[in-house]
Structure 1
């Protein structure tokens, strides 16, 4: 996902939610509908969440420091996780509390009866605009993935968060319209309470899904199978590498991948030739997967006997630099 695409979707969602929150809260003040209050708080929470995502994106751009040598890219994951907590507590739990409160005193809507329906219909239109923007921006990077796989596998958290929030908001609006509509038709405030409760359950479920997916990113995810296969092909595409002994990848941020590998190399005549070969391999990796910006390659001499013994490498010989010597030359990032 490009940063610009994510920012555009976040801003569209923020503008929509601020306008929706104001109109919903006015409708609540006029009608005392619990569904309208739950939806008001939901939109306030969503607005705060989009502000958190923008803040996380800005802070993630800070330059690396000695204390954080790999930079601050993961701040975007941290703020996305905070979003899930806000959505769970301020959105879901508040709606469930309000449903319980309304069920204890299920008064009908007697004043300004046309206001909540009008506001909810207008909110559906505004939320649909935000959801359409998020879908359009997501399609730029989603490819042939299903929406479920896109949300589960996306390394940039902003678009999945906005997609789930907007989807939840649209479903919540329909549930609120259901509760308010039946309350107006029947004069029974229990329908309003039921609509509010369904909104609360929906938000709690979405918050849990967001928390689970963001937790995985915070723990550290490696490259997806397609990128991993591309990197492996790039490493072994030339005569500089005989085979990959083992390799690990890790996302340092949504758009920065670290690659660390132990590679079997031929018996080079000098450390200078070895270093040139390593630089060539690094260049191939970056050309194949541009987000692979931090690369560490450790050269070694591969041995079938050692592989069977579980090490995969042989002791250094006179014809080749030892791992301790060559590692200082080539086991580094950059080229």
Structure 2
């Protein structure tokens, strides 16, 4: 775990104390093992979407269904998106270096944001465009058997992928909360991106099947292109949901309220502290959090007792919040510990 004390002013004694604390810092904790779970979810999604996309395109070419074209576009975009998530997963695992001293954990958030843009522009945009274009000259109604067959198989594969991502979310879901709340609180962009995509895919399959069935029932060729437009709107909604979640993480979202309250309780139990001003956190990756603690140590404490208190806090943080791998103490009152007379004047 990284650790440091930063003084509020460039006092030489305070700087010396800060260096002493850094020298005593234990080694950085290893990353939590989220990558294997995330990649399992991604591989399941790739396997589901790759074959489905080819089958949908083949049936769309055979039947001329606009809804099937929209679904084929959707599955193709999803397949490409999963490969982008793999790029993000691979880059996020790179070790820290001089240019990126806190590592590359946010890479997965960047690539998940690219996925959101892809879903919006390629998935939603093309589906809506194709649906509007088909409304001008809707294709004649044909035997829908193959459409239903491919949609049924697609639902099975998408359901499998959805279930894999659901199980991954359930492992971090708090009791009594919904899956959507688990998505909002999840910091693993790969998992919640696949989950949202699969939810949109299953809803899109239902819309496509309904559009084809209603078109046959009412002998109305316009309902199929309308289904394509609705599928596009679903994808646009999914893209906005993804952009909101990944964008917040990319620009420095902190831990949730419950975890922050737990941190405050942990600091309040430390007898060496007079007060805790602020605890600020930032998500650096799915299992990598930075904590900056602005605290007030008891006046007149020797520096060795300050270091002992910091060591106790580090151990307690590591036990209760293993994702917090960097801890920095903003000790604005450090000068009062070393020069209490000056502080009192």
| TM-score (ref. length: structure 2) | 0.84
Give the alignment of 1:62-101 within 5 angstroms. Answer: 62-101=94-133
| Runs of at least 5 residues in structure 2 that lack an aligned partner in the other structure | 1-32
What does the per-residue CA deviation read over 1:279-325, in whole Å, with 9 as the maximum and x for residues that have no partner? Answer: 22222212221111100113354xxxxxxxxxxx9856645998xxx
Report the 3-state secondary structure (helix = DSSP H, G, I; strand = E; otherwise coil) of the residue aligned with 1:67: coil
8 A contact 1:268–1:274 mirrored in 2: no
Q: What residue is the counterpart of 2:61 in the other structure?
A: 29
Report the 3-state secondary structure (helix = DSSP H, G, I; strand = E; otherwise coil) of the residue aligned with 1:66: coil
**1:59 maps to which of 70, 91, 94:** 91
Please identify runs of 4+ aligned residues in structure 1 that moved more than 6 A. Answer: none
Quickly say closer, same or farther: Cα 1:161–1:272, change in 2 above 3 A. Answer: same
Answer 1 or 2: higher relative contact order, Cα 8 Å, separation at least 6: 2
CA distance, structure 1, for counterparts of residue 50 and residue 138 of structure 2: 29
8 A contact 2:138–2:221 mirrored in 1: yes
**1:19 maps to which of 45, 51, 61:** 51
CA distance, structure 1, for counterparts of residue 289 and residue 229 of structure 2: 42
What is the root-mean-square deviation of aligned Cα atoms in Å?
A: 2.1
What's the offset of the Cα at 1:109? 3.1
8 A contact 1:46–1:165 mirrored in 2: yes
What's the offset of the Cα at 1:214? 1.4
8 A contact 2:300–2:336 mirrored in 1: no
CA distance, structure 2, for counterparts of residue 269 and residue 80 of structure 1: 47
What does the per-residue CA deviation read over 1:20-71, in whole Å, with 9 as the maximum and x for residues that have no partner? Answer: 1111011012111111111001000011111111110110011111111111
Report the 3-state secondary structure (helix = DSSP H, G, I; strand = E; otherwise coil) of the residue aligned with 1:106: coil
CA distance, structure 2, for counterparts of residue 269 and residue 142 of structure 1: 42
What's the offset of the Cα at 1:5? 2.3
Q: What residue is the counterpart of 2:240 in the other structure?
A: 208
What does the per-residue CA deviation read over 1:129-149, in whole Å, with 9 as the maximum and x for residues that have no partner? Answer: 111121122111112222222
| Runs of at least 5 residues in structure 1 that lack an aligned partner in the other structure | 302-312, 323-335
How many residues were matched structurally? 310
Q: What residue is the counterpart of 1:305 in the other structure?
A: none
What's the offset of the Cα at 1:198? 0.9
What does the per-residue CA deviation read over 1:165-184, in whole Å, with 9 as the maximum and x for residues that have no partner? Answer: 11111110111111222333
Q: What residue is the counterpart of 2:159 in the other structure?
A: 128
8 A contact 2:95–2:103 mirrored in 1: yes
Q: Does 1:272 align with 2:304?
A: yes
Report the 3-state secondary structure (helix = DSSP H, G, I; strand = E; otherwise coil) of the residue aligned with 1:221: coil
8 A contact 1:246–1:261 mirrored in 2: yes
CA distance, structure 1, for counterparts of residue 241 and residue 169 of structure 2: 18
CA distance, structure 1, for counterparts of residue 154 and residue 320 of structure 2: 45
Range with greater deviation from structure 2 (74-83 or 229-238):
229-238
Q: Does 1:198 align with 2:230?
A: yes
Q: What residue is the counterpart of 1:227 in the other structure?
A: 259
Give the alignment of 1:42-53 within 5 angstroms. Answer: 42-53=74-85
8 A contact 1:270–1:320 mirrored in 2: no
Q: What residue is the counterpart of 1:154 in the other structure?
A: 186
Q: What residue is the counterpart of 1:309 in the other structure?
A: none
